[in-house]
Amino acid sequence: MASRVDRSAFSEWLWTVDHLMLAGFVTLMLGGVVLSFAGSPPLAERIGLEPYFFVKRQAIYLVPALAVMLGASMLSPRMVRRAALVIFGLCLVALVLVLFTGVEVKGARRWIDILGFSIQPSEFIKPAFVILIAFLLSEAGKRPEVPGRLFSILLFVMVAALFVAQPDFGQTMLLLMVWGALFFMAGLSWVWIGVLGLLGVASLGSAYMLLPHVTARINRFLDPASGDTYQVDTALEAIVQGGWLGRGPGEGTVKRILPDSHTDFIFAVAAEEFGIILCIVLLAIFAFVVLRGLTHARREPDPFVRLATAGLMVMFGIQSAINMAVNLNMMPAKGMTLPFISYGGSSMLAVALAMGFVLALTRKRPRPSRTAPVIVRRVARTPVDPVK
């Protein structure tokens, strides 16, 4: 254990980082590896791979993800902004390349092969986008002459257009919700809030009318008899079969016929094998880290740090809630992973980067005093000769 008098970079990080939040993130990451033992072997066998293929890859991804999160948590707020700008620029170029050279899976181009690794740029651009929007809105609040709101709108339109072109409507809606939340927290007037709400409704309506796969998913959710609901029905059956305590590790049977048991529906697999109680514990961990991050943001005097921290935690919380809601058939399927739990290298690394930024922004830093210090000067007194 490093001493408090030790002034090294590691010691300074160790005594200023939020240990409880860090423990929560590490617990979720380790939980993802454990749950991959339950959800991925049946799928690997069905597609002709070695049973623990996805488990091994998830464990391998865990090492660089931890390194990314810990490395990002050591940055200063200024370095977080600079890193986000570089990541945003690189991912923007990658999103354009994906449309022309990306790997097509289930009718969508979202992945690009780089040095033999399949990377999803949309996952990495999300935390960088939140950081840049927070910076633009904070600058606009401090200096009205800076067109921060206009630039943030242009950035959103640009990124959202690239997401829709893939197409990836789920990530687009997530981005819209986080972007709207940042505007709300930045003190946007109720008129603009109403405009953003209408924009969200219009976007949803346009997607329903113009994108066939979105139309099919919403129709299946509203009227299950109108289409194939096999995956959602199977997930619900797995949850029911698990009960409160689960059927035991490796004893699940419904998971063997669940197509995306290792990614989108890992929550249902966890319920079947470990029970609803474990799912409640998992939900409590997600809620704890989100609420703790928002508490840090509420107490933060720096507008940029406050908006960036809150925006990243809102994104983390909404994505988690969407995945769980889809598993419980409370909303249409969106193909969104459960952070740190679902299988996927890009998802784990991107979420680790985002939460590393959160740990960096919430580290204890000296704050300026509310009152100016009183400077006491000693005035030399000239000795006085005694009166004779």
pLDDT in tens, 75-105: 999 999 999 999 999 999 999 998 888 777 7
Q: Tell me which amino acid residue 303 is.
A: P
- Of 218, 226, 256, give the one whose Cα is nearest residue 333: 218
**Does residue 372 surpass a pLDDT of 50?**
no
Q: pLDDT for 191-248, tens place per residue?
A: 777 877 787 788 778 877 877 777 888 888 887 777 677 888 888 898 998 888 888 8
What is the average per-residue pLDDT within 12-24? 90
- Whether pTM > 0.75 for this model: the answer is yes
pLDDT above 50 (res 8): yes
- Cα 347 to chain centroid, rounded: 9
Burial status of residue 103 (CB atoms within 10 A of its CB: 0-12, 13-18, 19 or more): middle
* CA atoms of 178 and 346, how far apart (whole Å): 20
Q: Mean pLDDT across the stretch 101-127?
A: 80
Q: What is the predicted pLDDT for the residue at 87?
A: 95
CA distance 149 to 51: 50
